[in-house]
Chains A and B, each alone.
Chain A
Amino acid sequence: NAGVTQTPKFQVLKTGQSMTLQCAQDMNHNSMYWYRQDPGMGLRLIYYSASEGTTDKGEVPNGYNVSRLNKREFSLRLESAAPSQTSVYFCASSDGGYQPQHFGDGTRLSIL
């Protein structure tokens, strides 16, 4: 029972490099989300996709782009990585409405 799968689990980048974080869910959920987690700040929403074919900005979208490739997959791209983007990134999915979100195990990203 895979749920939400994120790849890679760890990554180190140099400032200015680009990177795509992958996320896939096998629960047939309509909605998908990308969060970043920084110490003491909880999770902050970067982008979300309410349904296949739609994407919207969250609280902290600057420096990121997303693609909802199909119903299963939602990727997050850093075009030119900056040290401030060092964080743990989580992908989540849900059936929308008030259904709870299910989270992947995260991608730990360090930018030097």
Chain B
Amino acid sequence: GEDVEQSLFLSVREGDSSVINCTYTDSSSTYLYWYKQEPGAGLQLLTYIFSNMDMKQDQRLTVLLNKKDKHLSLRIADTQTGDSAIYFCAYPPGAGNMLTFGGGTRLMVKP
């Protein structure tokens, strides 16, 4: 979506950390989400962060939110080949639960 920007592609080696970035335009959103899409499948919710938080950690995943710069990032520690997928950030730009998605970042993990 035009309101959410992500880089198209990221390549890392197995065991390295991956950082996927997202910038958005609407500062009123309450939640921001990260979804993962494996080939031929639907989107799977990975994690989310409240807008009043700066950071959220969930096992190998760390989400950082910079509200001033409207920047969201997803860090995957010890990246595995099974992490290869497309990652989407998304947020509800207005009232209700409709989501605006970024274009997705394709993560390729090389053995």
The chain A residues found within 8 Å of chain B, CB to CB, are: 4, 31, 33, 40-45, 48, 50, 58-59, 90, 92, 94, 96-106
Contacts and interface: CB of A to CB of B under 8 A. Distances in A.
B103 A41 contact: yes
Given A42-B1, A42-B88, A105-B42, A99 B103 contact: no
Given A98-B92, A100-B33, A45 B41 contact: no
Contacts of A92: 43
A98 B99 contact: no
A contacts with B: majority SS: loop
Nearest to A105: B42
Given A4-B42, A42-B4, A96 B97 contact: yes
Given A100-B45, A101-B97, A42 B33 contact: no
B43 A103 contact: yes
Contact of A99 (B41, B42, B97): B97
9 contacts: A42-B4, A42-B103, A43-B88, A58-B98, A97-B96, A98-B30, A101-B99, A103-B42, A106-B41
Given A44-B101, A45-B99, 18 more contacts: A4-B42, A40-B8, A40-B103, A42-B1, A43-B43, A43-B88, A43-B99, A48-B98, A90-B42, A90-B43, A97-B96, A97-B97, A98-B30, A99-B97, A100-B48, A105-B40, A105-B41, A106-B42
Contacts, number: 59
B46 to A, nearest CB: 10
Interface in B1-44: 1, 4, 8, 30-31, 33, 35, 40-44
Nearest to A41: B103
B contacts with A: majority SS: loop
A102 B98 contact: no
Interface string B75-94: 00000000000001010100
A4 to B, nearest CB: 7
B2 to A, nearest CB: 9
B39 to A, nearest CB: 11
